[in-house]
Amino acid sequence: MLRRTFLRGTLVGAAATAVPLTALAQGTAAAAGTVTVTSIGALQSAIDAAVPGDRIVLADGSYTVPSAGIRVTGKHGTTSAPITIVSASRGGAVLNGAAGFVFSGSSNITLSGFAFRQTTTLAVPADCSRIRLTRNDFKLADTAGLDWLVVRGDDAKIDRNHFHHRTTQGIFLVVDGPGTTAMAQRTHIFRNYFADHSYTGANGGEAIRLGVSHRALSTADALVEYNLFERCDGDPEAISVKSSGNTVRHNTLRGNKGGIVLRHGNATTVEGNHVIGGVNGVRLYGNDHLVVNNHISGTTSRGLVIGSGTTRDHHEGETTEERRGNDACDRAVIVHNTLVGNSATLSGESRTYEPRDVVVADNILVASGGTLVDLDAAPGFTWQGNILWGAAAVGTIPSGGFRRVDPLLRKDADGVHRLTAGSPAVDAATYTASAVAEDADGHARTGARDVGADEYSTLAPVRRPLTTADVGPNAA
């Protein structure tokens, strides 16, 4: 049987070879409760008989899955002893056909190492909890309107996967929920590699969408962290948040059309992300967001947008059309961010309802052209402690809200602009209402904090922009 190399022909796969999952987990001897199968029929039988702690290994090969899929029905592992279904090597078992795994009424199930090539959505339904999809390769059918992975069940983990290469409308990963307004709870999305979505339409090609307009007021408590996005050009929104109470942190977006957009919902934290190059940075709608420690540089459209709305606030009882509209950004706190060399640095919009009561404090804004701050109306805004520099016009920021002084930034090899010794940003932060324990590099902010995303240090960064070695099926 031909052994396949994982992610053949991709940036990650160029250096990656198939890694036996069983050897990594068990050494050379098979553990108790481990069974290796060589056909889809045998795999189905092993799943049907599985009990907590069992490990089912599908031999490498290319398999055509029956139209009914590989059923995982009424199967329950435990948190300490999940039922684990793996490919013998990462990417070695390639699943073709209309369907792949079909979940129903199950919990504590792990799928690892498969190459998914099916023509329909892989779904985690609402009656399934604690489902983990790890170290898989997703390249489903390039069919318009097909969302590749949809999560509706609680406590799912989606980690170290590669989602890649499509040209049509449709989303790599959707987090949804039961019924019409609820959200799946506590989804954890981490160490994934999203790349090469070349759909050229106006929208509908996000890499990740957390929710949808009619679920926007529901808290999801999703955590999206340490993911890498490259050439995600299917939508202006690479990470589209349409629910409430989420955290988007320590992700790297490099060379994408899409940015991080809080499109609907409230109280989401956007922290420590690197947006390097590409088109769009970060855009905000809704209320009570925290945007802290982000580094946004070299975008060709807009770096940071404080959005206006067609309505002041979304609320229960809206029509479908009203809910689809933008709600103005109110009471956001935007602190300790560094924006350098963006076509538009910090800007607003011109819808009926202007943003209100936003804090913009202790940020560094640098550009050689255009306008650094461009908001037509900003009632109730707090502007303080910001540093502005470069040939770009100052714009509409009030004079008491900034200093125009060279922050003495250095662009390092990883593309990040950091402070150098003697910078006027050191110990100069003024806003103390929000606790900010670390900077974007993972260094502690002690004593008086520095302005911008970087706290000056001679130590090596704990966190840097991610590369392909940090994410995907072969990541640590």
* Whole-number average pLDDT of the chain: 93
Instruction: Give me the pLDDT at residue 5, please.
Output: 32
Instruction: Give me the pLDDT at residue 10, please.
Output: 36
Instruction: Give me the pLDDT at residue 32, please.
Output: 55
Instruction: Give me the pLDDT at residue 319, please.
Output: 87
55 DSSP β-pair partners: 34, 84
Question: What is the spatial distance between Cα 173 and Cα 237, in angstroms, rounded to a whole number?
Answer: 13
Instruction: Give me the pLDDT at residue 321, please.
Output: 86
Question: What is the spatial distance between Cα 104 and Cα 117, in angstroms, rounded to a whole number?
Answer: 21
Q: What is the DSSP letter of 434?
A: S
Convert the pLDDT of each residue in 9-51 to its tens digit: 333 333 333 444 443 333 333 455 999 999 999 999 999 999 9
Instruction: Give me the pLDDT at residue 245, please.
Output: 98
95 DSSP β-pair partners: 63, 116
Provide the b/e sequence for 183-215 (b: ≥16 CB within 10 Å).
bbbebebbbbbbbbbebeeeebbbbbbbbbbbb
**Residue 435 neighbours by CB under 8 Å, 6+ apart:** none
**Residue 264 neighbours by CB under 8 Å, 6+ apart:** 211, 213, 216, 241, 242, 243, 285, 286, 314, 323, 327
In terms of DSSP bridges, do strands 409-411 and 417-419 run parallel, antiparallel, or are they unpaired?
Answer: antiparallel
Convert the pLDDT of each residue in 351-409 to its tens digit: 999 999 999 999 999 999 999 999 999 999 999 999 999 999 999 999 999 999 999 99
Average pLDDT over residues 282-302: 98
The answer, yes or no, to whether residue 136 has pLDDT greater than 90, is yes
Give percent above pLDDT 70 in the chain: 93
Give percent above pLDDT 90 in the chain: 91
Convert the pLDDT of each residue in 216-273 to its tens digit: 999 999 999 999 999 999 999 999 999 999 999 999 999 999 999 999 999 999 999 9
Question: What is the spatial distance between Cα 389 and Cα 402, in angstroms, rounded to a whole number?
Answer: 10
Instruction: Give me the pLDDT at residue 23, please.
Output: 37
Kindly state the tokens that stand for 121: 């959505």
End-to-end CA distance of the chain: 28
The answer, yes or no, to whether residue 123 has pLDDT greater than 50, is yes
Provide the pLDDT confidence category of residue 99 given band limits of 50, 70 and 90.
Answer: very high
Options 2.160.20.10, 2.130.10.10, 3.20.20.70, 2.60.120.1440; CATH for 142-470 is 2.160.20.10
Going from N- to C-terminal start, the domains of the chain cover: 142-470
Average pLDDT over residues 281-289: 98
Instruction: Using alpha carbons, select from 234, 124, 134 the residue that is nearest to residue 184.
Output: 124
Provide the pLDDT confidence category of residue 320 given band limits of 50, 70 and 90.
Answer: confident
The answer, yes or no, to whether residue 434 has pLDDT greater than 80, is yes
